[in-house]
Chains A and B, each alone.
Chain A
């Protein structure tokens, strides 16, 4: 029973030991990218490769959202011509990718992070400033 609601239970019943914040990486300009440097607090909890893989995938997804390509130009021009009313019925490309990211984070949490007592918070909930990794106390796992 604890496993089915593991994510919610983690948030509500386990004590939060610490929170690690993965900051933005601005070396490529204002595009949304996060630092792939592995924080020392997570050394005991998760494999470095796995974590970096998660962050790298997130970075790729954000890059896809902000990509300047023919698709985004067509969407922009179409939107301008219809006085942006087209977005009443259609989602912007960025929003579609954000949904993809939310799903990816949920999936990563379920598969990798929650079993290790960690929780990734979707950066959009933090204004795309940080990836918040909540570290829960070990006790919660040994229930």
Chain B
């Protein structure tokens, strides 16, 4: 089906069984840890919300760890997760702004309206910028690498969703 494959997407990186199993193992371990910390049946929505945040962080972290540092998005995710304190939020912003001044294709936010953005030389201004925001670590890449990262990111996200859905299904019925 995929006849035109970018050369960077070798199957070894995305062997479905190994990526899935790595992610599943890590995620389950994190889940058990989270459930062990808290009382079994929390009643308040805020507790549920906190648990939700923790689980989400655990999911992203386990996914990024399963990919190691092979990909820019996983590195960016891990970096982001490691420095998730209010103090380092400034560091994150500083990093982002410095990165944005370096890239030439990222549109200037002070330009008025979407029309200017769409008329940029790259011709893909608005969507490209949105994609950069979506994919972690996408700010510092040119379009070519960004599309590469997006493809790998999509694959990993689908794996993540599948595993989490399976787990959720299994444990919602017992």
Do A and B belong to a common assembly?
A: no
